[in-house]
Amino acid sequence: MAARTDRTTDPQLRAALLLARRGQAYFSRKLNELGNDELDAPSLVPGWTRRHVVAHVGLNARALTRLTEWAATGVETPMYASREERDAEIEYGATQPARALRNLSAHAAVHLDVEWRDLAPEAWAAPVRTALGRTVPASETVWMRTREVWVHAVDLDNGASYRQFPPELVDALLADVTRMWRSRGGEVVVPVLEPTDRTVGPGGDDGSVRVRGRAADLARWATGRGGERLLTTSDGSPVPPPPTWL
Ligand code: ZN
């Protein structure tokens, strides 16, 4: 019989799962606030309507379900067959009737959650591969989903805001982006982030742009969603676009 609560007892993992679930609820709430005809409007993702965002977030849940099943069974099931297939699936998904899109969003989220809930404690450490080719423990799927649901809720462009994000999520996003920038080793000059509402922020490279503002606004800028209300500390000029995150 399937368990009704998470099988893992790891407190860190359970906290991470809670943050992902809160993000899913946040995304679903913002989606439910939109009428069917409002789904045709542009999102904050360049070139994507809200339909594309909803399709992508639903398909992402399915892809992460495949990774979780891979961890559970040991049978390799990648997130996507290829980048092209992933993109084509989003394009096709976005054309579905609104009801089908909403069903995809809701059902895919529940399915992923059930797979997480029932994953054996030891299987969370099993290696799986992300769409970008990184080998990570299955537990990483929780963070991968967390950033998708929260950030894409903002992309729906109907009132979700980084300033509504829990502080631990803002900090985790800043750490994630900084780590990604650094992983490109020298290709990227890592900006110095100076959060005004934190005691310490992630440091950057010498001679790079310094960006100062509230941590939530820094996270918004660093993840490529605009730099309003942020200034460079050097000369007060508007902030430049950030290096690419994902
Ligand atoms: Zn995404």
pLDDT of residue 202: 57
Task: Compute, in angstroms, the gap from residue 68 CA to the centroid of ligand 1.
Answer: 18
State the CB neighbour count (10 A cutoff) for residue 82.
10
* Percent residues over pLDDT 70 in the chain: 93
Q: What is the DSSP letter of 238?
A: B
Residue 218: CB partners within 8 Å, gap ≥ 6?
A: 174, 193, 194, 195, 201, 211, 230
* Six token digits for residue 207: 């001679």
Task: Compute, in angstroms, the gap from residue 41 CA to the centroid of ligand 1.
Answer: 18
Mean pLDDT of 74-98: 95
Task: Compute, in angstroms, the gap from residue 57 CA to the centroid of ligand 1.
Answer: 6
Measured over the CA atoms of residue 133, residue 134, residue 140 and residue 142, the dihedral's sign is negative
String of b and e for 22-33 (b: at least 16 CB within 10 Å)? bbbebbbebbee
pLDDT of residue 184 exceeding 90, the answer is no
Task: Compute, in angstroms, the gap from residue 54 CA to the centroid of ligand 1.
Answer: 10
Q: Where are the alpha helices (DSSP H) in the chain?
A: 11-32, 50-73, 83-94, 98-118, 140-155, 167-183, 215-222
Task: Compute, in angstroms, the gap from residue 60 CA to the centroid of ligand 1.
Answer: 7
- Distance CA(225)–CA(218), nearest Å, equals 10
Task: Compute, in angstroms, the gap from residue 208 CA to the centroid of ligand 1.
Answer: 28
Task: Compute, in angstroms, the gap from residue 14 CA to the centroid of ligand 1.
Answer: 23
Task: Compute, in angstroms, the gap from residue 236 CA to the centroid of ligand 1.
Answer: 32
**Per-residue model confidence as pLDDT tens digits over 42-85:** 999 999 999 999 999 999 999 999 999 999 999 999 999 999 99
Mean pLDDT of 37-43: 97
Task: Compute, in angstroms, the gap from residue 157 CA to the centroid of ligand 1.
Answer: 15
pLDDT band at residue 130 using 50, 70 and 90 as cut-offs: very high
CB 130 within 8 A of CB 140: yes
pLDDT of residue 207: 67
CA atoms within 13 Å, Cβ hemisphere of 66 = 14
**Per-residue model confidence as pLDDT tens digits over 196-243:** 898 765 566 666 788 888 999 999 999 999 887 776 666 677 788 888
pLDDT of residue 153: 98
- Distance CA(65)–CA(69), nearest Å, equals 6
**Per-residue model confidence as pLDDT tens digits over 99-128:** 999 999 999 999 999 999 999 999 999 999
Task: Give the phi and the psi of residue 42 in degrees, each rounded to 5.
Answer: -65, 150
pLDDT of residue 169 exceeding 60, the answer is yes
Q: Which residue has the higher pLDDT, 3 or 134?
A: 134
pLDDT of residue 2 exceeding 60, the answer is no
Task: Compute, in angstroms, the gap from residue 235 CA to the centroid of ligand 1.
Answer: 34
**Per-residue model confidence as pLDDT tens digits over 21-37:** 999 999 999 999 999 99
* Whole-number Cα distances in Å, 5 to 14, 65, 182, 212, 233: 10, 17, 37, 42, 48
- Distance CA(138)–CA(123), nearest Å, equals 7
